[in-house]
Amino acid sequence: MANLRRSLVINFFSSSSAALVQFLVSVLLARMLSPSEIGVFSMTVVFVTIAHMFRDFGVATYIQREPELTPEKIRSALGILYATSWSLAVGLFALSAPLGDFFNEPGIVPVMRVLALGFIVIPFGSLTHSMLLRELAADKQAVVTAAGTIAYCASCLILAALDFGTMSLAWANLINICTCALAYIPFRPKGMPWIPSRRGWGRVINFGVGQLLTNCIDAANGSIAELVLGKLGSARHVGLFSRANSTVSIFSYLAGTTVTYGALTYLSQAHHRGESLVPTLRRAVTLLTGIGWPALALTAVFGRDLVLALYGPTWLDSVPAILPLCIAACFYLLFQYTPSALASIGRPYLGAIPQSATLVMRITLGVLLFDGTLVSFGWAVCLATMCVVPVMLYLQYHYLQFKPSTLFASVMPSLAVAVCCTVIGEALHLVLPESLPAMARLLLAFPFVLGTWYGALRLISHPLVNELHLLAGSARLRLSRFGRAS
């Protein structure tokens, strides 16, 4: 647990810093690129994201969960990565023109072809990434993250300034992949083979197919909104919806990968020891919602100010979709760790059931409820998420023995904290003058909502308080040691 906490702290500062920098770059890009240009890239990334699920073929999950890794198993996994990645690179390149014709967006073609090149390079670093994650080597991963982030952000802004338009995002993505692949080379574990093998693919595939199915449907589920909206509406609708999603995802940007970092490895080790996963899941959901729910509630309250401050008045039409997307995200956080828990007990395919249901509901409700406005589509996405909650509750209870009553009891303190933050947020929203710039309103409100959040945690005796105090104590200890050393 101590090693996990240390890795989580390192990963938090690494991933959140990278996400914050990328978010700031997206803010700058929103003023350099048009909604249509960003919409074209968003539509293209949908297919690339789905392809990434096939590319991985569950290998990353297999590496993290396997009790004992041998050189033969690693070579088998490496062989699968090369075969799937390079095959998908060819497939994406071939599909680029037909997809451009289908959506009547010729800009999709060059973007997809550049992104396809990344699939040739990815296998050279992805297996090392999985091995480091298995070892919870967050410090080494932080170096790679920093290198990739700097390369992506610099190239993205430079190319956008040179009027590359949508292609600036595509080339920056490829530069990021190449940089990370090079940065992983010094951190390869000793004895890790370079040469792939075709032997032993069966044991990897047997586990990987289930995880692949879940990951593919999850990717499609996360991207289907843009596809449906692009077909029913226009690239502008997609761009606005993408910006609303980005606003709602500010919490995810700040938390980075820390939310799920090491979850599969930790849960798998507990399962192999014969321990119940319920206590770990209950505590994890309590801590996550204690941060996430208040953040999402405040995002909904200050949605208009956030959009104005970050993106400018051009994107104000995205504001109506923020509230339903925030509600959907709150339900999603309830089951953040369920897929990892199911994979840790050797049943990764079960995660595909709720994802499939969500996929069907998003398409159905999107078509039925869309009336030409962004808010109608936002509520369609929200209702689709809520409809799948009973399925998730059943899977948790039947396979993990995590009762719905236990889940609801674990998040009641977080709900109380979120309500307190919402009340104070609404009061501040009404009190602060509309004449003030949006950024000024946010800066003035921040200390009040932060104090309300911490005060509510203390008042309700939320378990998150102990974690915050442990983190603060560790920080003070490190600072004192640094002071004595200097």
Question: What pLDDT, on the 0 to 100 scale, is given for residue 69?
Answer: 78
Mean pLDDT of the chain: 85
Mean pLDDT for 229-258 is: 80
Long-range pairs for 435-438: beta carbons < 8 A, 24 or more residues apart: 437/309, 438/304, 438/305, 438/306, 438/308, 438/309
State the pLDDT confidence band at 474, using cuts at 50, 70 and 90: low
pLDDT recorded at residue 198: 76
> What pLDDT score does 261 carry?
64
Q: Residue 162 gets which letter from DSSP?
A: T
Q: Is the pLDDT of residue 352 over 70?
A: yes
- Record the tokens describing residue 36, joined without a space: 């249509």
Distance (Å, whole) CA 324 – CA 221: 17
- Mean pLDDT, range 19-38, rounded to an integer: 82
Predicted pLDDT of residue 334? 93
* Tens of pLDDT, residues 144-169: 989 999 999 999 899 989 988 889 99
How far apart are alpha carbons 353 and 395 in whole angstroms? 9
> What's the rounded Cα separation, in Å, for the pair 2 and 6?
6
The structure's pTM equals: 0.70
Is a pLDDT exceeding 70 seen at residue 485? no
Q: Using pLDDT thresholds of 50, 70 and 90, give the confidence band for residue 484.
A: low
- R_g of the chain, CA atoms, integer Å: 22
Nearest to 133 by CA among 255, 273, 284, 264: 264
Give the whole-number percent of the chain exceeding pLDDT 90: 38
DSSP letter string, 389-447: HHHHHHHHHHHH---HHHHHHHHHHHHHHHHHHHHHHHHHHHHS-TTS-HHHHHHHHHH
Band (220; pLDDT cuts 50, 70, 90)? confident
Cα–Cα distances in Å, from 352 out to 199, 220, 348, 475? 28, 11, 8, 41
Owner of token pair 């849960």: 267
Of 304-318, 348-362, 397-411, which one has max mean pLDDT? 397-411
Q: What is the pLDDT of residues 389-431, one digit of tens each?
A: 999 999 999 999 999 999 999 999 999 999 999 999 999 988 9
> Does the pLDDT of residue 440 top 70, yes or no?
yes
- What's the confidence (pLDDT) of residue 381? 92
| pLDDT at residue 19 in the model | 74
Closest Cα to residue 229, out of 122, 350, 97, 373? 373
Model pLDDT, residue 15: 74
Report which listed range, 34-38, 46-50, 289-293, is most confident: 289-293
